[in-house]
Structure 1
């Protein structure tokens, strides 16, 4: 029986390989990180990019391993406590304890081709702090590192089953955020959303039990609640979380409600679109036009059908949206404008398109961080991100330590260390810090490079760097 199972799994994977190879037409593109080719090509299927998993992960400093246990092929990548595993056989991702499907809008997110794992670029960007952009003219793919917020995300889960209800719930909780009040506000919102899904499932199950007790033979006997999430943006002091609430109460299929929150981590506030975009601009009309054109394009291609009696006209006063790494994504619920089979349709409006419509406090979404200069007075506006990059070598025992003279003016948003890429032990790399400007004022950031056991007093003038930042509203 075990041999038969293994054969079936092998055939299933082989079918996926053959389907992908035929669809992709063997089109390849070189992958570059910091303008250096990785020596491994990505595969291109139309506009969808599939990255070579091992080569990309190793270039980013991850250790990659392969397992084929109990008939399931799994590839894993680990770096500094960050562990991502992909079940290639069953198409599941375990991202630091968070389990979700390896599926993307265009179809399957992971393929095995000639014994090598390829992962769709958007799925890769969800699981790893990096992105990929494909330039069709040059035929090249550029990888870019992403510096995520200085916060930990803990996966909380509830799994249970009784006679009438199967419950699978996962939701995120933040830890290690400097502002504990802001952290608590975010966690309360996310936990309450998960609890509301559980309560709805319990009510559905109670109704099912009563229906069966009352003799309704058509009652199926088992309800289901499946609640999950995706973190779609985690940079520059902003966090976007998409929640998916699936409820099955009988019948041909269940229903899914998608909600989302975008948080300012300096306050814990859930932001509306009107907080991000400048009301003095006609941003709603522009977004309406972009979405209308994309709907028409999908309909014309035969990929979508729209209800004739209630077609899309505008996003309304308080639209559903979330932040992605590439832009603001708007979405519509099942049956809102399209049939159930269309699922939840999403429409991305790039940050570059919205650049002149963003409020000044959120212009960083399109402009990115400002590189700080220790030899000059640096000017930031409230909401801007100032970036510091310093070289170092942790294998020597030396580390950079920093102090901000006024934490009400500047807040640490993220910090990370990137190896140089030289495979030699002790080759060093770059430390990167992002600081968010909070309000008007002047603050100094002082960095000192020393060994912890030797103390701050051991830092010489040559190992001390000071950045002066003036923030305006």
Structure 2
């Protein structure tokens, strides 16, 4: 790993750049997090397809943890280990979760994107929190507090493939690693082309800007190169809707690099990119309520720089299996050290009673 990536990875893993949004869990599993006050690991029975798994989960630190091998058994996909880099890779549900042990302590990323999630190495075995399984690997669970049993099953996801495409850029003394998502397998060729165009146009714009900036700043040096990196993560893939977060990192040998993020929510039947208003089913009252709640939380947290007057017209957000996360860019309303301010809300909080997420915006159910 190059020096600038090590530096960036350390910041991301520490949560300085990732923001401090809450980790999502199914309500059925959250009971384990809320009611547990144990300080030592407690065994959790794991079940899948009605059968008890030989491996045990753990109740630790107020969260339910599952070993990486057990995750693979339920999620399917592939699990590999690179002895040279000391890195495990688990591919499932259009994401690749990588856990590196190169620096001793586990460092977790998904498609080179660093979520606010940690892995633990316990008695020689790697564990991840259940929330990470649900958010990124397509596994849901049902928690039984009395028996301390977690029943796991795969989520029924859309029939769409999301693969990383790359852009080759050669600039002297610049380290460039560009990966962006492209979709395939949709029933509509027009919808597929529309989604891919949005994602390709976005990365092309940033590549052009990077080339322009490097030309204006002049040549970098070999010991402090410029850097440009882009990546993505799939955050939702159900009910005919695909959710992603794309991320770009730029460093022109200044005090620190700069990271930007974009949330994308697409209806797979039409290729339309959904706005926050679409997700809220055009409920103006709820949008106003949401804006007030976000403002209260934003102003109460450290590093607030003032200026918030409500949600933006084209508000940044992304969707997850359990709700919507509203977020802001670095420096938008908070100091750099605060990272990306994130504010999660469940669908139950945002939608009318009995309403299904994305009803009325897609015909695929």
> TM-score normalized by structure 2?
0.75
Tell me what 1:392 maps to.
Answer: none
1:178–1:105 distance in 2 versus 1, CA, 3 Å: same
How much has 1:27 moved relative to structure 2? 4.6
Indicate yes or no: 2:351 matched with 1:355: yes
Instruction: State the secondary structure of the residue aligned to 2:167.
Output: strand
Distance 2:60 2:334 in 1: 26
How much has 1:29 moved relative to structure 2? 3.7
Instruction: State the secondary structure of the residue aligned to 1:364.
Output: coil
How much has 1:176 moved relative to structure 2? 1.6
Q: Of residues 186, 204, 215 in structure 1, which corresponds to 2:195? A: 186
Asked whether the equivalents of residues 178 and 229 of structure 2 are also in contact (C-alpha less than 8 Å), the reply is yes
Tell me what 1:342 maps to.
Answer: 338
Distance 1:59 1:180 in 2: 32
Which structure 2 residues correspond to residues 159-170 of structure 1 after superposition, within 5 A? 159-170=168-179
How much has 1:131 moved relative to structure 2? 3.0
Instruction: State the secondary structure of the residue aligned to 1:100.
Output: coil
How much has 1:315 moved relative to structure 2? 1.5
Larger radius of gyration: 1
Instruction: State the secondary structure of the residue aligned to 2:357.
Output: helix
How much has 1:238 moved relative to structure 2? 0.7
1:166–1:135 distance in 2 versus 1, CA, 3 Å: farther
Tell me what 1:364 maps to.
Answer: 356
Indicate yes or no: 2:57 matched with 1:72: no
Asked whether the equivalents of residues 45 and 57 of structure 2 are also in contact (C-alpha less than 8 Å), the reply is yes
How much has 1:168 moved relative to structure 2? 0.9
Indicate yes or no: 2:280 matched with 1:266: no
Indicate yes or no: 2:95 matched with 1:86: no
How much has 1:250 moved relative to structure 2? 2.5
> TM-score normalized by structure 1?
0.60
Distance 1:75 1:174 in 2: 21
Larger RCO (CA within 8 A; separation ≥ 6): 2
Distance 1:268 1:44 in 2: 41
Name whichever structure is richer in strand by fraction.
1
Which structure 2 residues correspond to residues 117-128 of structure 1 after superposition, within 5 A? 117-128=126-137
Indicate yes or no: 2:116 matched with 1:105: yes
Indicate yes or no: 2:236 matched with 1:233: yes
Distance 1:196 1:158 in 2: 12
Asked whether the equivalents of residues 64 and 76 of structure 1 are also in contact (C-alpha less than 8 Å), the reply is yes
Which structure 2 residues correspond to residues 356-435 of structure 1 after superposition, within 5 A? 356=352, 363-365=355-357, 413=364
How much has 1:35 moved relative to structure 2? 6.3
- Unmatched 5+ stretches in structure 1: 1-22, 367-380, 385-409, 414-435, 437-473
Distance 2:314 2:353 in 1: 17
1:25–1:286 distance in 2 versus 1, CA, 3 Å: farther
